[in-house]
């Protein structure tokens, strides 16, 4: 956690120094994002077992290269996860059997990532102190914690790196000067396998529905 706080602090200092030099083209937002997440397996014998609640928080930087178009990135801490059911009907390789030490049943994945989104933000012209925006891009993230339903560490069962895409839209409402409130919904869909299971060839992706709430400086 100490490293996380230091990373966020360094990013904030960097952004504020750049913003001081290019006040008209850089915007910094602090975001708090409640979310629903779920895991999606791709083999028989492994099933998704519902949604898990979570949250995401941190800073987002929009670098405008035209009036209504910006390159968007940031640094956030993503607390997410999901639930899977493993059965004894899991697909294994031809001629192979499921080892006895593979525990079947329900598994909870409580995950935490450092997320560094990279994408584009498109914004409408202002009307009645508001504007509509859309965003899309990639969502790379690095796992920093993985635990099961009993709060045991399962880092050896979760891959370090995850990559997906995001697509969303929302509303910005000006509250005076350069400050504004931001409300939106963003869908994240995973590309890569987040689990590290040595006994069978599966791919389990992480998907999220994020409710974006932010304050723009």
Q: What pLDDT shows up at residue 183?
A: 97
Position with higher pLDDT, 2 vs 61: 61
Position with higher pLDDT, 38 vs 4: 38
Residue 209 inside a domain? The answer is: no
Q: What pLDDT shows up at residue 139?
A: 96
pTM assigned to the model: 0.82
Q: What pLDDT shows up at residue 180?
A: 95
Residue 206 inside a domain? The answer is: no
Residue 18 inside a domain? The answer is: yes
Range(s) of the domain holding residue 94? 2-199
Residues 169, 134: Cα–Cα separation, whole Å: 4
Residues 163, 138: Cα–Cα separation, whole Å: 7
Residue 88 inside a domain? The answer is: yes
- Cβ-contact 88, 100 below 8 angstroms: no
Residue 143 inside a domain? The answer is: yes
Residues 79, 179: Cα–Cα separation, whole Å: 27
SS (H, E, C) 134-188: EEEEEEEEEEEEEECCCCCECHHHECCEEEEEEEEEEEEEEEECCEEEEEEEEEE
CATH of the domain at 187: 2.40.160.20
Residue 213 inside a domain? The answer is: no
Q: Taking 70 as the threshold, does the pLDDT of residue 95 lie above it?
A: no
DSSP assignment letter at 103: P
Q: Taking 90 as the threshold, does the pLDDT of residue 164 lie above it?
A: yes
Q: What pLDDT shows up at residue 105?
A: 73
Q: Taking 90 as the threshold, does the pLDDT of residue 199 lie above it?
A: no
Domain count, the chain: 1
Q: What is the pLDDT of residues 128-149, one digit of tens each?
A: 899 999 999 999 999 999 998 8
Confidence band, pLDDT 50/70/90 cuts, at residue 22: very low
Q: Taking 90 as the threshold, does the pLDDT of residue 201 lie above it?
A: no
First to last CA, the chain: 25
Beta-bridge partner residues of 162: 141
Position with higher pLDDT, 40 vs 103: 40
Residues 188, 172: Cα–Cα separation, whole Å: 21
Q: What pLDDT shows up at residue 100?
A: 57
Residue 94 inside a domain? The answer is: yes
Residues 164, 93: Cα–Cα separation, whole Å: 27
Q: What pLDDT shows up at residue 49?
A: 83
Residues 195, 206: Cα–Cα separation, whole Å: 10
CA dihedral 142, 143, 144, 145 (to 10 degrees): 170
Q: What pLDDT shows up at residue 91?
A: 59
User: What phi and psi, each to the nearest 5 degrees, are found at residue 112?
Assistant: -135, 135
The size of the chain, in residues, is: 217
Q: Taking 70 as the threshold, does the pLDDT of residue 11 lie above it?
A: no
Residue 205 inside a domain? The answer is: no
Q: How many CB atoms lie within 10 A of CB 216?
A: 19
Q: What is the pLDDT of residues 36-94, one digit of tens each?
A: 999 998 877 777 888 899 999 999 999 998 889 999 999 999 999 999 887 766 655 55
Output the average pLDDT for the chain: 84
> Quick one: what percent of the chain has pLDDT higher than 70?
79
């Amino acid at each position: 956690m100490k490293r996380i706080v230091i990373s966020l602090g360094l990013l904030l200092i960097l952004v504020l120094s750049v913003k001081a030099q290019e006040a008209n083209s850089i915007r910094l937002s602090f975001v708090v994002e409640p979310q629903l997440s779920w895991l999606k397996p791709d083999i028989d014998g492994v099933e998704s077992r519902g949604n898990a609640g979570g949250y995401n928080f941190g800073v987002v930087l929009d670098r405008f290269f035209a009036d209504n178009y910006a390159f968007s990135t940031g640094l956030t801490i993503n607390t997410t996860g999901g639930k899977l059911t493993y059965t004894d009907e899991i697909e294994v390789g031809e001629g192979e059997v499921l080892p006895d030490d593979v525990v079947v049943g329900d598994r909870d994945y409580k995950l935490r990532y450092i997320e560094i989104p990279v994408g584009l933000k498109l914004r409408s012209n202002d009307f009645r102190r508001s504007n509509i925006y859309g965003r899309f891009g990639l969502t790379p993230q690095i796992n920093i914690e993985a635990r099961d339903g009993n709060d045991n560490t399962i880092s050896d069962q979760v891959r370090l790196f995850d990559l997906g895409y995001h697509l969303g839209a929302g509303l910005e409402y000006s509250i005076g000067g350069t400050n504004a409130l931001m409300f939106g919904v963003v869908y994240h869909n995973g590309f890569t396998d987040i689990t590290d299971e040595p006994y069978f060839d599966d791919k389990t992706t992480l998907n999220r529905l994020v409710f974006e709430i932010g304050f723009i400086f």
